[in-house]
């Protein structure tokens, strides 16, 4: 199997000064995100960023994306880890058609992390919290959600 990257995830959050804004929840996104969506509905908030890094097969990527998008603010962004990685071709195979279809556009790419956003923000239930709260989804590693302290 793959190495556990939770320690690296925490170290990166700390290095960038945002560790205190993130609550890390480990589990399968299909089990974790529906509960987060319900909590966000109660708080009338959405995430500004979802970071997808989990199982790298086509079905898991599509599921993670569909669940994460439900938690996004209309102007929210999605980051995919392992984009362009030859060991995980399904990531690019999922993202590239989104970009070609024109409903999403690339914001930036750093190494194997690609960030995309909607070309025309949709209306989600609730509003963006505007505080940079982030969701990280994963099928096999860490899922993090930021809640107000």
> Which pLDDT does position 126 carry in this prediction?
32
Q: Give the pLDDT confidence of 21-36 residue by residue, as tens digits.
A: 777 777 787 888 788 7
pLDDT band at 59 (very low <50, low <70, confident <90, very high): very high
3-state secondary structure of 116: strand
Is pLDDT of 118 > 90?
Answer: yes
Report whether 42 contacts 4 (CB < 8 A): no
pLDDT: which is higher, 1 or 60: 60
Cα distance between residue 27 and residue 75, in whole Å: 26
CB contact set of 141 (below 8 Å; sequence gap of 6+): 2, 4, 5, 6, 9, 26, 53, 54
CB contact set of 81 (below 8 Å; sequence gap of 6+): 51, 52, 53, 91, 112, 113
Is pLDDT of 55 > 80?
Answer: yes
Mean pLDDT of the chain: 78
Is pLDDT of 145 > 70?
Answer: no
Based on C-alpha coordinates, what's the Rg of the chain?
14
Mean pLDDT of the region 112-119: 94
Q: Counting Cβ atoms within 10 Å, is residue 134 exposed (0-12), middle (13-18) or buried (19+)? A: buried
CB contact set of 12 (below 8 Å; sequence gap of 6+): none
> Which pLDDT does position 35 carry in this prediction?
81
Q: Lowest-pLDDT range, 38-52, 81-95, 109-123?
A: 38-52
**What pTM was computed for the model?**
0.70
């Amino acid at each position: 199997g793959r190495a556990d990257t939770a320690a690296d995830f925490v170290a990166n959050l700390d290095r960038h000064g945002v560790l205190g804004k993130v609550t890390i929840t480990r589990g399968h996104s299909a089990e974790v995100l529906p509960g987060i969506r319900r909590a966000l509905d109660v708080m009338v908030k959405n995430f500004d960023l979802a970071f997808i890094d989990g199982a790298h097969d086509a079905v898991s990527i599509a599921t993670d994306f569909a669940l994460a998008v439900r938690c996004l603010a209309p102007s929210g962004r999605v980051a995919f880890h392992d984009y362009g990685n030859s060991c995980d071709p399904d990531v690019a195979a999922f993202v590239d058609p989104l970009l070609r279809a024109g409903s999403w556009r690339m914001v930036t790419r750093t190494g194997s992390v690609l960030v995309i956003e909607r070309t025309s923000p949709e209306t989600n239930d609730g509003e963006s919290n505007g505080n940079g709260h982030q969701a990280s989804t994963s099928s096999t590693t860490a899922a993090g959600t930021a809640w107000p302290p």
